[in-house]
């Protein structure tokens, strides 16, 4: 026994090798554990230590829909709302007239003179700060760094159309505690304003004249939706025109211009009409997060294959309720592909998803999204009305969202195989190292 304890060069090498292996494997374990724990909690340490959630009053929207012109005195002082920040670094283009939701965001419009029950003006002129009844700030960087002057004592309004995974402001207690109203894609916010226009009723291209089955256009390759599309491609043809798993040419780039005008979405709408299905995979699964990708598919008559929030039904009022195929209804990409192949060869079954095109949307005005599509008053007129009623919060509630995970969508993490192969390689290498030491 004492012989083995003698410090020979071979034994020293073995001991150092064992120590190196244990140290390296421990480091890999700690790194993996940290990544999984961070993804699970989604609360960065600087936010967790900043205190609990700020109390929030009930959403203004529930009261707002009941307000009428008679609810306000005939003589009202004018409310001036200043959009203080830019949007994605660009100055806000205040609108002088109503525009179609498909062409403008975030609908910088307060109404024509006399249109709003409360005299209301929206401006981007920061020199008028002393006159302001409220300031609006966009939640994404770099705009959120440009906060209004606190000496004016006017309420602050936060506006966002991106989810918390990509908008750290929404779970930053220090920032959220300073705002009094929220304009957001969320249907439970003070002023729901998602980038999701009302789908049109134009007849779709007939079933037999569609040029392709499944269309995919993703400019940002979020790992889980990209992996789901990769797996789906094993069982059915998917034409991908975007940056992710691209296998088709012919669509102008996301920021492509013709005559100095961005035309990507116009071209996308034309292309989408010729496909039976469109992959409408949101970039995360956060509550209420929807954008115009769903609109593009619906309005062109390309049946959406939807991956995203489980609250999507609230965005499908009336006859739209059976207009999409939910990825969550299928255990695997293989099962989904089987169902899509069935629909691709069965015109009657396929057309059931498009019945709303002929029946119409139905009764939608008793829904939140319906009131967004057909508002009684322009968006910022509604804000002025809330200001006149004094409907303000003392801070906004924090909004957390867990990043999407592979297992949530019936997928195996492709990185897990790489880690397993690396561990195997590590152990095999160590065994070879021991053998070389022993036989030398």
Shared domain check, 170 and 218: no
Shared domain check, 378 and 362: no
Cα distance between residue 136 and residue 351, in whole Å: 44
Determine, yes or no, domain membership for 348. yes
pTM of the model: 0.80
Shared domain check, 385 and 356: no
Shared domain check, 153 and 234: no
Cα distance between residue 393 and residue 43, in whole Å: 23
Shared domain check, 213 and 173: no
Q: What is the block-wise mean pLDDT of the chain (440 residues), using blocks of 10 residues? A: 54 67 66 49 32 41 55 79 89 70 61 88 93 95 91 92 95 96 95 94 95 94 96 97 93 74 84 97 96 96 97 97 97 97 97 97 94 91 92 94 94 73 60 62
Q: Is residue 138 within a helix (H) or strand (E), and if so which, with residue range?
A: strand 134-138
For residue 225, the model assigns a pLDDT of 96
Determine, yes or no, domain membership for 440. no
Determine, yes or no, domain membership for 310. yes
Shared domain check, 341 and 275: yes
Looking at the structure of the chain, the number of domains it has is 2
Cα distance between residue 277 and residue 336, in whole Å: 12
Shared domain check, 277 and 257: yes
Shared domain check, 148 and 229: no
Determine, yes or no, domain membership for 5. no
Cα distance between residue 234 and residue 231, in whole Å: 5
For residue 24, the model assigns a pLDDT of 67
| CATH code, 320 | 3.40.50.11660
Shared domain check, 323 and 354: yes
Determine, yes or no, domain membership for 410. no
Shared domain check, 217 and 89: no
Report yes or no: 110 and 116 within 8 Å, Cβ to Cβ: yes
For residue 422, the model assigns a pLDDT of 54
**3-class SS string, 3-65:** HHHCCCHHHHHHHHHHHHHHHHHHHHHHHHHHHHHHHHHCCCHHHHCCCCCCCCCCCCHHHHC
Cα distance between residue 12 and residue 230, in whole Å: 48
Shared domain check, 385 and 353: no
Query: What DSSP character marks residue 87?
Result: B
CA 242 → CA 209, 221, 250, 353, 356, distances in Å? 23, 9, 10, 25, 29
Determine, yes or no, domain membership for 164. yes
For residue 76, the model assigns a pLDDT of 78
Determine, yes or no, domain membership for 329. yes
Cα distance between residue 395 and residue 179, in whole Å: 5
Shared domain check, 219 and 318: yes
Residue that is last in its domain, among 333, 366, 399? 366
Determine, yes or no, domain membership for 83. yes
Cα distance between residue 166 and residue 346, in whole Å: 40
For residue 252, the model assigns a pLDDT of 75
Strand 191-192 vs strand 325-326: parallel, antiparallel, or unpaired? unpaired
For residue 206, the model assigns a pLDDT of 96
Domain hosting residue 301, numbered range: 207-366
Report yes or no: 72 and 377 within 8 Å, Cβ to Cβ: no
């Amino acid at each position: 026994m004492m012989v083995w304890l003698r410090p020979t060069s071979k034994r020293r090498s073995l001991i150092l090798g064992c120590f190196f292996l244990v140290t390296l494997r421990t480091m890999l374990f700690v790194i993996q554990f940290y990544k999984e724990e961070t993804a699970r909690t989604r609360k960065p340490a600087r936010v967790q230590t900043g205190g609990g959630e700020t109390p929030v009053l009930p959403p203004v929207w529930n009261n707002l829909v009941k307000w009428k012109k008679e609810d306000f005195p005939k003589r009202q002082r004018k409310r001036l709302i200043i959009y203080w920040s830019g949007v994605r670094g660009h100055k806000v283009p205040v609108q002088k007239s109503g525009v179609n939701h498909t062409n403008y965001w975030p609908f910088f419009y307060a109404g024509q003179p006399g249109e709003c029950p409360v005299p209301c003006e929206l401006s981007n002129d920061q020199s008028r700060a002393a006159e302001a009844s409220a300031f609006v700030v966009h939640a994404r960087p770099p705009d959120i760094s440009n906060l209004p002057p606190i000496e004016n004592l006017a309420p602050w309004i936060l506006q966002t159309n991106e989810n918390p995974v990509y908008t750290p402001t929404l779970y930053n207690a220090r920032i959220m505690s300073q705002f009094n109203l929220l304009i957001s894609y969320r249907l439970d916010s003070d002023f729901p304003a998602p980038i999701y226009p009302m789908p049109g009723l134009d007849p779709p291209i007939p079933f037999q004249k569609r040029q392709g089955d499944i269309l995919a256009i993703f400019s940002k390759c979020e790992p889980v939706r990209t992996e789901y599309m990769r797996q789906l491609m094993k069982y059915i043809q998917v034409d991908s025109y975007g940056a992710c798993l691209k296998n088709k040419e012919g669509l102008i780039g996301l920021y492509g211009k013709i005559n100095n005008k961005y035309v990507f979405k116009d071209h996308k709408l034309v292309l989408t009409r010729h496909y039976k299905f469109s992959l409408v995979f949101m970039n995360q699964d956060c509550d209420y997060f929807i954008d115009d990708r769903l609109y593009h598919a619906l309005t062109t008559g390309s049946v959406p294959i939807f991956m995203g929030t489980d609250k999507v039904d609230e965005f499908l009022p009336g006859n739209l309720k059976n207009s999409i195929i939910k990825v969550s209804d299928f255990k695997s990409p293989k099962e989904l592909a089987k169902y899509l192949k069935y629909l691709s060869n069965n015109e009657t079954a396929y057309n059931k998803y498009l019945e709303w095109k002929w029946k119409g949307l139905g009764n939608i005005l008793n829904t939140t999204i319906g009131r967004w599509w057909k508002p009684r008053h322009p968006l910022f007129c509604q804000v002025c009305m809330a200001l006149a009623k004094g409907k303000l919060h003392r801070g906004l509630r924090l909004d957390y969202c867990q990043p999407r995970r592979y297992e949530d969508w019936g997928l195996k993490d492709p990185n897990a195989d790489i880690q397993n192969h690396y561990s195997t390689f590590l152990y095999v290498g160590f065994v070879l190292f021991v053998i070389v030491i022993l036989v030398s």
